[in-house]
C-alpha cells in the first residue's frame, strides 16, 4: 500500500513538472497579427498599395490603435494616428485595412480621421478584445 502511495506522489509530481515547464498554460495568450501589403488595384476600391492586418482568428475587437514607435517610447499617452473603439458589442473581425471603417466600431474621437503614415517611420498597431486579449505588431508602411 505504501508503495502505491509513493508511485502516485511521483506521478503527480512528474505531471506538475511537465505542465509547468513544457506547456504554455501559465502564459497570457496574445493575438497573433500579420501584416500584408497588396499592390495597387488588387483589392476593390484601392488605387495605391494597401496594407492589411490579418489576425489568427476572428476576434470581437474592443479597441484598435496605431501610434508611432518613437513617440510611444517617450510618451506614455502617445498621439494615436488611428484609434477605433467599440461602444457596444463588437462584431468579430479577422482582417482589416489601415484607416478603414470597422464593423461595430467608431473613431475614438468622433471627428478624427486616420492620419497618413510616413514610410520612413515605424509604427505599432495595438488591439484589444472585450475579454482582455491583446495583440500588437510593429510595422513600417509601404513607400
CA angle at residue 53 from 96 to 135, to 5 degrees?
110
Inform me whether the pLDDT recorded for 3 exceeds 80.
Answer: no
Residue 5 is predicted with a pLDDT of 78
Q: pLDDT tens for residues 72-97?
A: 888 888 889 999 999 888 889 999 98
Residue 1 is predicted with a pLDDT of 63
The pTM of the full predicted model, rounded to 2 decimals, is 0.76
Backbone angles phi, psi at 112, to 5 degrees: -75, 145
Residue 71 is predicted with a pLDDT of 87
Amino acid at each position: 500500500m505504501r508503495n502505491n502511495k509513493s508511485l502516485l506522489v511521483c506521478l503527480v509530481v512528474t505531471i506538475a513538472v511537465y505542465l509547468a515547464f513544457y506547456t504554455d498554460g501559465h502564459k497570457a495568450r496574445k493575438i497573433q497579427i500579420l501584416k500584408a501589403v497588396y499592390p495597387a488595384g488588387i483589392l476593390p476600391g484601392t488605387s495605391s498599395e494597401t496594407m492589411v492586418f490579418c489576425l489568427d482568428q476572428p476576434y470581437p475587437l474592443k479597441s484598435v490603435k496605431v501610434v508611432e514607435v518613437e513617440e510611444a517610447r517617450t510618451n506614455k499617452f502617445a498621439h494615436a494616428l488611428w484609434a477605433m473603439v467599440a461602444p457596444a458589442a463588437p462584431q468579430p473581425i479577422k482582417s482589416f485595412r489601415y484607416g478603414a471603417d470597422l464593423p461595430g466600431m467608431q473613431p475614438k474621437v468622433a471627428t478624427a480621421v486616420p492620419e497618413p503614415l510616413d514610410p520612413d517611420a515605424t509604427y505599432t498597431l495595438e488591439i484589444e478584445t472585450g475579454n482582455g486579449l491583446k495583440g500588437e505588431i510593429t510595422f513600417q508602411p509601404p513607400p
